[in-house]
């Protein structure tokens, strides 16, 4: 399935999420890298050593949720746009996501957008909380969005309706 469509199954996705107790404590990285490829900017970018690839650069990265602070440094550094930050500490009803977003024009804080699942299908409404695009992100802006908690494991991207 994944080999044909490139869309991760729920089973695959769940292997990348930390336990809900960790998500509810505060921000943490979800590293959705599923295939062995020669790549390691996530490991080298993390200032806390929370992502390990090891000696073989083809290894799949492993994120330690107990070391990850959710700082978000790794999000814009991944060339595959495979990393997002999830944070369930803000509200019992919603979760916040920080995702890489390379489309223009960028959204604005407060804007309502359409949340998409991993197949690009619309699933919910999402609210833009913040947009970060400093030079250090090297043209990979990072957008923070608030989404209904029931879409925690489904939300992955968004599209503007304007």
Judged by the rule CB under 6 A, the positions of this chain that interact with ligand SF4 are 29, 31, 33, 39-42, 45-46, 48, 50-51, 61, 63, 68-74, 78-80, 82-83, 85
Check if the beta carbon of residue 1 is closer than 8 Å to that of residue 112: no
Tell me whether residue 40 or residue 114 sits nearer to ligand SF4 (CB atom). 40
Output the smallest distance, CB 93 to ligand SF4, in A: 24
- Name the residue nearer to ligand SF4 (CB basis): 26 or 148: 26
- Smallest separation, CB 161 to ligand SF4 (Å): 29
CB 81 → ligand SF4: shortest distance, Å? 8
């Amino acid at each position: 399935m994944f080999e044909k469509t490139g869309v991760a199954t729920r089973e695959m996705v769940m292997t990348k999420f930390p336990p809900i107790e960790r998500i509810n404590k505060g921000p943490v990285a979800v590293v959705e890298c599923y295939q062995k490829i020669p790549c390691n900017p996530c490991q080298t970018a993390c200032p806390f050593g929370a992502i390990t690839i090891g000696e073989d650069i083809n290894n799949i990265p492993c994120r330690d949720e107990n070391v990850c602070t959710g700082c978000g440094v790794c999000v814009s550094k991944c060339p595959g746009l495979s990393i997002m930050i999830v944070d369930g500490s803000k509200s019992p009803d919603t979760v916040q996501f920080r995702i890489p977003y390379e489309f223009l024009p960028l959204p604005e804080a407060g804007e309502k957008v359409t949340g998409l699942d991993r197949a690009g299908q619309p699933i919910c409404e999402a609210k833009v909380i913040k947009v970060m695009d400093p030079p250090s992100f090297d043209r990979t802006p990072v957008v923070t969005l608030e989404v209904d908690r029931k879409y925690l494991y489904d939300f992955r991207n968004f599209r503007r309706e304007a």
